[in-house]
Homo-oligomer: A and B are copies of this chain.
């Protein structure tokens, strides 16, 4: 599903091979310059929109980490790693176990990505929250930190991974790397290193040890290995920062040197993306959140269905047919007519529109085995008629619902909810969070952990967020 986004976004990113070549000489002191920024940047200097987006990134992350916490993938990871974990230093979202900080960061990172429902930096398709927040929330339990310093580290971590991602995207992603893991380890090391109080030289080494551990290949998509990647990036970034904090050395130019990270791992290197306008341009302000638990290509259709339903108080019984003009990618990627399992539902525009119209949502529950086997939804999906129209962009849809009473309702979407142009509101994010956490932790606890996320800047200890998001032992 990230691939679907990639297909359209790579072309939109505006980076040409010629431009990349023209700038690959701007490679002086990239690692050092970034490290200097990371150890000096202050919470007080963060623009308000960046702070607000950082808080939303945190809330969305905690929601998806709780939501995924009882998936089979997480059960396996917990069972496999329990015999090897160090002291119970850090908790797991939605669960009662406690592990050493690196093991906890791994498991929470896996949980956060299981449903492919996490945040997205659209320019690179990096999911920034998983690697960074998994690492620093675990660390915050061991080494107390107030909410302002925590939020500053979160933003710096996201900034680091997205800037490094920008420098090598799209070539790096196109060749086969899962960029969330390869860039994510830098973000985790940077954020953790900042909270550990690394010196500039130690931060250079932390980034170097992070560069030595790229995680993840696209071939793993569709297996548990995909969620492994942000989890392992979180743990590897912590590992790098922990060693660097004791003066375990690396090279001073691991990102930009001739035989360093960017040259080894990508045919494009635009170092201005890493060191340009530090403290002025914020990639962290460009984070987005999925409103629906499926590939971005389906979002306009689901959005249209829910809007028509809500505006007209529609029920399935009223509907005669649902006609749509869609971008060709929609049928190429999500053309399954008769999905039999929940996961297959994510690849069926027929199911997605039908369930959205009946249930008014497109969350993980709408892509469950229960949902794809619901007779009412199956009946309605037979009335969904998507038609390809190359004039329709991937972010657009035109929907026309014919009712039994003869009326025809229409809706054109220019940008689906969750895009940069129509961001999820805070209320939308809360609804998504509740939907994910429902049944995993009690409602009162859901309210508490959301409240602590919104008010992270006032917390005396950021670890209070984990305390509220864990399951009682």
A248→B71 CA distance, assembly (Å): 12
A102→B100 CA distance, assembly (Å): 13
Q: Which of A73, A212, A239, A251 has the most CB of B within 10 A?
A: A212
Interface assignment of A250: CB less than 8 Å from any CB of chain B: yes
List of 8 A-B pairs having minimum Cβ-Cβ separation, nearest first? A176-B264, A176-B259, A225-B250, A218-B259, A80-B246, A219-B260, A219-B257, A219-B259
A239→B224 CA distance, assembly (Å): 14
**A 226-252 to B, binary, CB cutoff 8 A, 1 in contact else 0:** 001100100000010011011111110
Contact between chains at A80 and B250 (CB < 8 Å):
no
- Interface-facing stretch out of A42-50, A83-91, A344-352: A83-91
Jot down 10 A-B pairs with beta carbons below 8 A, ordered by A.
A76-B243, A79-B246, A81-B243, A83-B87, A84-B86, A84-B100, A176-B260, A221-B251, A223-B250, A225-B249
Supposing A86-B100, A250-B225 touch, asked if A242 and B209 sit within 8 A by C-beta, the answer is no
Supposing A80-B242, A219-B258 touch, asked if A263 and B176 sit within 8 A by C-beta, the answer is yes
Contact between chains at B247 and A76 (CB < 8 Å):
yes
Interface assignment of A213: CB less than 8 Å from any CB of chain B: yes
Contact between chains at B212 and A215 (CB < 8 Å):
yes
Measured between beta carbons, the chain B residues less than 8 angstroms from A181 are 212
A106→B249 CA distance, assembly (Å): 16
Measured between beta carbons, the chain B residues less than 8 angstroms from A208 are 220, 223, 225
Contact between chains at B211 and A213 (CB < 8 Å):
no
What is the CB-to-nearest-CB distance from A163 to chain B, in angstroms, rounded to a whole number? 19
A89→B471 CA distance, assembly (Å): 29
Interface assignment of A38: CB less than 8 Å from any CB of chain B: no
Contact between chains at B213 and A213 (CB < 8 Å):
yes
Measured between beta carbons, the chain B residues less than 8 angstroms from A79 are 246
A221→B208 CA distance, assembly (Å): 12
Copy count, this protein chain: 2
Interface assignment of A101: CB less than 8 Å from any CB of chain B: yes
Measured between beta carbons, the chain B residues less than 8 angstroms from A216 are 212
Interface assignment of A4: CB less than 8 Å from any CB of chain B: no
Interface assignment of A406: CB less than 8 Å from any CB of chain B: no
A217→B177 CA distance, assembly (Å): 16
What is the CB-to-nearest-CB distance from A321 to chain B, in angstroms, rounded to a whole number? 39
A84→B138 CA distance, assembly (Å): 12
Measured between beta carbons, the chain B residues less than 8 angstroms from A175 are 259, 263-264
Interface assignment of A360: CB less than 8 Å from any CB of chain B: no
Contact between chains at B224 and A73 (CB < 8 Å):
no
Contact between chains at A251 and B225 (CB < 8 Å):
yes
Measured between beta carbons, the chain B residues less than 8 angstroms from A246 are 76, 79-80
Interface size, A (range): 35 or more
Contact between chains at A254 and B80 (CB < 8 Å):
no
Supposing A212-B215, A232-B213, A251-B219 touch, asked if A242 and B176 sit within 8 A by C-beta, the answer is no
Measured between beta carbons, the chain B residues less than 8 angstroms from A228 are 209, 212, 243, 248, 250
Interface assignment of A439: CB less than 8 Å from any CB of chain B: no
The one of B218, B222, B254 that contacts A219, using a Cβ cutoff of 8 Å: B254
Measured between beta carbons, the chain B residues less than 8 angstroms from A219 are 251, 253-254, 257-261
Interface assignment of A77: CB less than 8 Å from any CB of chain B: yes
A228→B248 CA distance, assembly (Å): 9
Measured between beta carbons, the chain B residues less than 8 angstroms from A89 are 84
Measured between beta carbons, the chain B residues less than 8 angstroms from A84 are 86-87, 89, 100-102, 242
Residue in B closest to A106 when the chains form the complex, CB atoms: B239
Residue in B closest to A3 when the chains form the complex, CB atoms: B259
A76→B249 CA distance, assembly (Å): 10
Residue in B closest to A218 when the chains form the complex, CB atoms: B259
Interface assignment of A157: CB less than 8 Å from any CB of chain B: no
Interface assignment of A130: CB less than 8 Å from any CB of chain B: no
A253→B239 CA distance, assembly (Å): 29
What is the CB-to-nearest-CB distance from A261 to chain B, in angstroms, rounded to a whole number? 6
Measured between beta carbons, the chain B residues less than 8 angstroms from A260 are 176, 217, 219
Measured between beta carbons, the chain B residues less than 8 angstroms from A263 are 175-176
What is the CB-to-nearest-CB distance from A260 to chain B, in angstroms, rounded to a whole number? 4
Interface assignment of A147: CB less than 8 Å from any CB of chain B: no
What is the CB-to-nearest-CB distance from A34 to chain B, in angstroms, rounded to a whole number? 15
Measured between beta carbons, the chain B residues less than 8 angstroms from A224 are 248-250
**A 259-273 to B, binary, CB cutoff 8 A, 1 in contact else 0:** 111011000000000
